[in-house]
Amino acid sequence: MRLVVARCAARYTGRLTAELPLATRLVVVKADGSVLLHSDGGSYKPLNWMSPPCSLAVAEPDDDAAARGVVEIWHVQHAKSDDRLEIELHEVLHDSAHELGVDPGLVKDGVEAHLQKLLAEQIHLLGAGHVLVRREYPTAIGPVDILAKDPAGGAVAVEIKRRGDIDGVEQLTRYLELLNRDPHLTPVRGVFAAQEIKPQARVLAHDRGITCLVLDYEAMRGMDDASTRLF
């Protein structure tokens, strides 16, 4: 990886044409030849970039460009399309190269999946006497996280989220609508379970007759550890 801080201007042509006026920016050249142009603000999206696979060719400026103060011109050409990025370097303030090696990559911890597993094992958290029917109970619009039965034999559909937001309630509502069309299941009660439930979601859920259940992830994991330790 090569890091260059420089006063530069750039032009991109491809899906669209765009220009970057002269300013001081960070230019990152990754091992695969891809290039990122970052300013000192904004979010993670670069001002301009070239995705791999691409090639980088460094050229001397012609007389005209040199007269404008250009020191070097970088031509970054995409390998599979005619997308190109042209960077005019006017003043290089920093230039360093680093060996980074291959990255093991991001490991996403499926807290939501874990919560589902734990709640299935600790189904009594829905209330005493509840019984698990199954996880990932299939419907036409996708599986419901958990289907259970309450002590009276009534069906209970559970939607699990890490953060309980309005769209989670909407999702559960759609499932309930479908499940209630099944004469063997109806009436189906809804439970919206999450580590944290937003006030708006709570109001909407209440309005639709859906029960809210706040899950204590740490406590549930503790229970899980305790039970596995017993056997």
Partner DNA sequence: TGATTAATCTCGATT
Partner DNA sequence: AATCGAGGTTAATCA
Q: Which residues bind DNA (CB under 7 A)?
A: 12, 14-16, 18, 42-45, 48-51, 78, 83, 85, 105-106, 108, 163
**In the complex, least distance from residue 42 CB atom to DNA, rounded to whole angstroms:** 4
Residues 215 and 119 sit within 8 Å (Cβ to Cβ) = yes
Residues 174 and 167 sit within 8 Å (Cβ to Cβ) = no
27, 48, 70, 210: which one contacts its own copies (CB under 8 A)? 48
Give CA angle at 188 (203, 134), nearest 5°. 110
Query: Which of DNA, its own copies, none binds 3 (CB below 5-8 Å, type-dependent)?
Result: its own copies
Counting Cβ atoms within 10 Å, is residue 141 exposed (0-12), middle (13-18) or buried (19+)? exposed
Nearer to its own copies, 25 or 189 (CB): 25
* Type of residue found at 154: G
Region 68-127 residues binding its own copies, contact defined as CB under 8 A: 82, 93-94, 96, 98-109, 111, 114
The reply to whether 214 sits near its own copies by the rule CB under 8 A is no
Nearer to DNA, 125 or 194 (CB): 194
Rounded to whole angstroms, the Cα distance separating 36 from 87 reads 11
Give the tokens for residue 10: 């750039």
Q: Describe the crossing of helices 217-230 and 111-121 by its angle, rounded to 10 degrees.
A: 60
Query: Which of its own copies, DNA, none binds 63 (CB below 5-8 Å, type-dependent)?
Result: none
At a CB cut-off of 8 Å and minimum separation 6, what does 222 contact?
none
**Total residues interacting with its own copies, rule: CB under 8 A:** 55
* Binding residues for its own copies (CB under 8 A): 1, 3, 5, 15-21, 23-26, 28, 30-32, 34, 36, 38-49, 51-52, 82, 93-94, 96, 98-109, 111, 114, 162-163, 225
